[in-house]
Structure 1
Amino acid sequence: MRRAYAMLGLGAVVLVAAGSLTLMPEGGKASATEATFLVPAADGYGVAECLVSGHTCGKAVADTWCEAQGYSRAVSFRQADPEDVTGSVEVQKVATAPAPRPVAITCSN
């Protein structure tokens, strides 16, 4: 009789655990519905090149970048303004050409 109650209790625990997993949000999606990311211009995705040259590839590349971050699509993308960057890292003055501005990509679920 004890075994029957133990098996019934174990079955109930497994059932509750399985049910709670189905109610959890997807792990691959970000919790926020919209977020803006600052992506370096030389990130390898090619968003900056598409923006500067004016090609239509910018939307497709931005969408792919957002999907890689767990979002479904890119709402907007543009070259970031200097005010968008916090400047928390000290800038080293070097006699080279200025670095291109980063790209701001706003992603949404």
Structure 2
Amino acid sequence: MRRAVAFVGLLGVVAAGISLSIMPSSRSAAASEPRTFLIPASDGYGVADCISSRAECGQIVANAWCESQGFGKAVTFGVAAREDFTGSVTKQSPAQLAEQPLSITCGE
């Protein structure tokens, strides 16, 4: 009786292993198409200085962000256009520009 229960348990483990091995990986599917991320300018890490000024460190920071999200590298980065995150196209004051989120588009 114990052998029969152990055999049924073994078959269950093998079937589960086979079904998991043939499932597609969602990580590779996400990396195949570009994706844009909006990051608050006041995130506390200081990345806004590099990305918004498009300094040399901006490419490094943007690439690191994309890699942490499962993508290869950053395609574009910078300050997000107002219509991209609110649907509004009104004129902004300099104080409001400082609070605009950052935009990083990641791809392969």
TM-score (norm 2): 0.68
Q: Which runs of 5+ in 1 are unaligned?
A: 88-95
Deviation per CA, 1:27-66: give whole Å up to 9, x if none.
7x38533311111112234442113434211111112222
CA distance in 1 between partners of 2:70 and 2:14 (Å):
29
Q: Report the Cα offset of residue 17 of structure 1.
A: 1.2
Deviation per CA, 1:70-104: give whole Å up to 9, x if none.
434322212111111126xxxxxxxx932512211
Secondary structure in structure 2 of the residue aligned to 1:71: coil
CA distance in 1 between partners of 2:12 and 2:57 (Å):
51
1:106 matched to which residue of 2?
Answer: 105
Root-mean-square deviation (CA, aligned residues, Å) is 2.9
Output aligned runs, 1:61-72, within 5 Å: 61-72=61-72
CA distance in 1 between partners of 2:10 and 2:79 (Å):
56
1:41 touches 1:103 (CA, 8 Å); kept in 2? yes
Of 19, 29, 32, the match for 2:30: 32
Q: Which runs of 5+ in 2 are unaligned?
A: 88-93
2:11 matched to which residue of 1?
Answer: 12
* Residue 57 of structure 2 is aligned to residue 57 of structure 1: yes
CA distance in 1 between partners of 2:107 and 2:54 (Å):
23
TM-score (norm 1): 0.67
Percent of paired sites with the same residue = 44
1:41 matched to which residue of 2?
Answer: 41
How many residue pairs were aligned?
A: 100
